Amino acid sequence: MVARILDGKVIAQEIQAEISRSVAAHVAAGGPTPGLAAVLVGEDPASEVYVRNKQRACKRVGIASSLHRLPQLTSTDELLDFVGKLNEDSTIHGILVQLPLPQQVDAARILDAIDPAKDVDGFHPYNVGLLSQGRARFLPCTPHGILQILARCQIDITGKHAVILGRSDIVGKPMATLLSQKDSPVSPQCCNATVTLCHSRTADLPSITRQADLLVAAVGRAKFVTAEMIRPGAVVIDVGINRTDNGIVGDVDFAAVSAVASAITPVPGGVGRLTVTMLLANTLVSAGGKLTS
């Protein structure tokens, strides 16, 4: 079997075109121009790239974006003050504090301080609570992007076994929540899965991954998922972005796994494109707009 490539670039372009039209319609109807403030503390090279991509994407769809650079040695209190000012600024509808933060900063306190109404990452405990009750205002961007890929590629996961590798707050946990819910904010076909959430202490991982109809890999380890771990015909979503001597690779051994799976996302050009795109969608919603296709 040769897997179908689920092209994140094409899907992201399609959604960004929809966002662009929706932003224009929102502004034409008298709504405010959506504004996103990104906060970058220090000079982490990967974060620099992410933030630059977010800025460019904002520009493409008509969202006003500002980048606030703070020094590496910024304290928790200084960052709390800064976030407080952004909370008060009525031209800012979305606040994104790029993670990871330097180790002297208490990241949980910072994320808790972002106004939940401007928390376009969906990381605030209030928004996590809404998500777990199935009434989220902001879906976390990476899991939301994955649902968009599944929905737009007409992959029905109803009643299927979804295995998620990685229990992070950003990807694994919210992904498990969304896939197992009774209803989906994206499409009726991308919920109602039976979900297994695996992590570093999971025993005999391959025996579990081989049961997966849908495998979502978010472990942050280059080529961690091998062909032997895949049930023939499974759909494989690769969330990994690992920098190696041979460039950026995912958590999945793409060449080997694409010979076994029925569909797979590439890295780069897969899920990453959607993460940025769904941030734009959340910023539009936060400004009172609505994403229409």
User: Catalytic site residues?
Assistant: 54, 98, 121
38: closest CA among 26, 25, 53?
53
Among 16, 22, 98, 184, binds ligand GUN (CB under 6 A): 98
- Cα angle at 168 between 156 and 145, to 5 degrees? 40
Distance from chain centroid for Cα 190: 16
Q: Which stretch binds ligand GUN (CB under 6 A): 21-29, 93-101, 129-137, 252-260?
A: 93-101
Site membership for ligand GUN, residue 213 (CB under 6 A): no
- In the complex, least distance from residue 100 CB atom to ligand GUN, rounded to whole angstroms: 7
Cis preceding linkage at 100, omega within 30: yes
Q: Is 175 in the site for ligand GUN (CB under 6 A)?
A: no
Give the phi and the psi of residue 162 in degrees, each rounded to 5: -100, 125
* Nearest residue to ligand GUN, by Cβ distance, number only: 99
Residue 192 DSSP SS3: coil
Burial class (CB within 10 angstroms; exposed 0-12, middle 13-18, buried 19+) of 95: buried
Between 121 and 238, whose beta carbon lies closer to ligand GUN?
121
Query: Which residue lies nearer to ligand GUN by CB, 114 or 287?
Result: 114
Q: Does 274 bind ligand GUN (CB under 6 A)?
A: no
Q: Is 12 in the site for ligand GUN (CB under 6 A)?
A: no
Minimum separation from the CB atom of position 53 to ligand GUN (A): 11
Residues 225-254 that bind ligand GUN (CB under 6 A): none
Report the distance separating Cα 182 and Cα 243, nearest Å: 37
Residues that bind ligand GUN (CB under 6 A): 96-99, 121, 141, 170, 275
